[in-house]
Amino acid sequence: MAIGTNESLAANAAAHLRRSGHTVKGGSGNSKEIDRQSVTLLEWARSKKVVLTDNFLVGLKKHADSTAEHEVYYRAADNRAVKLTHPGTFGVTPDKKGNQQAATPLFYLIRLELMNRVFGSDFRLEGIALGKSLVIGASGEYPRMVVSQPWIQAADICFPVPSSLEITNFMDSLGFVPLPGSYYGWIRKADNVQVLDARPDNFIKSNRGVTPIDLVISQD
């Protein structure tokens, strides 16, 4: 696998999509653009031999709290959450009012990289799987991202999420300020990183403090 020493699999996939002429902004909510990027992504995965079979999930425990974006599993071997996007989908990009739009593969990959750079999240792209679409009438198999992140244990299982004030203090410590008129949004003006959907249930209050687990992050 020709991945540079300092380059993650997600960064390599994103670079390939960009070289193929795809853009981040060009496809949010656009099903045709998502389909075009999906084809390119699957071609990349086959060339890198990172297409995963169903055997990848053997021994993993499915978590009850799967979401609109992912199926979630627990991998005890390295204490990580393994998350699969639903076939043919790659997360969402809420607009500033909170309306959900389908995201492109490229947006999703850059989202992973930004989570790592800004929050030290240790997201990893593990490969691309195939699955049947949940859309009624859709036929064939569609690509889905397989990613992992450390399994974060709440410091207090009775109160697993931080308060709004604790989130405010956390975001402020990283140089973010509230983004007016947005859906739980923040912006860091120094590098124009924007975060949306920063609701309390997208954080966990762990022994390390406030830990983001599933934010929508971008950079203009």
For residue 110, is pLDDT > 90? yes
Confidence category of residue 101, pLDDT binned at 50, 70, 90:
confident
> 9 φ, ψ to 5°?
-60, -40
For residue 27, is pLDDT > 70? no
> 132 φ, ψ to 5°?
-80, 135
For residue 137, is pLDDT > 70? no
In our burial notation (b when 16+ CB lie closer than 10 A, e otherwise), range 75-108 reads beeeebbbbbbbbbbbbbbbeeeeebebbbbbbb
For residue 31, is pLDDT > 60? yes
Q: If you average pLDDT over residues 39-50, what whole number do you get? A: 96
**The pLDDT of residue 170:** 98
Confidence category of residue 4, pLDDT binned at 50, 70, 90:
very low
Contacts with 205 (C-beta within 8 Å, 6 or more apart), sequence order = 154, 155, 156, 159, 160, 161, 162, 166, 211
- Give the C-alpha separation, 134 to 18, whole Å: 28
The pLDDT > 90 percentage for the chain reads 71
- Angle ∠(60,61,66) on CA atoms, nearest 5: 115
For residue 2, is pLDDT > 50? no
Q: Which pair of tokens denotes residue 204?
A: 């966990």
The pLDDT > 70 percentage for the chain reads 90
Per the model's pLDDT, the better-predicted residue between 93 and 78 turns out to be 78
Domain boundaries, the chain: 9-150, 164-219
| Lowest-confidence pick of 36-40, 46-50, 62-66, 216-220 | 62-66
**The pLDDT of residue 5:** 43
Give CA separation, 134 vs 86, 88, 151, 198, in Å: 8, 9, 27, 27
The pLDDT tens digits of the residues spanning 154-207 come to 999 999 999 999 999 999 999 999 999 899 999 999 999 999 999 999 999 999
- Identify which of 220, 41, 31 has the alpha carbon closest to the alpha carbon of residue 125: 41
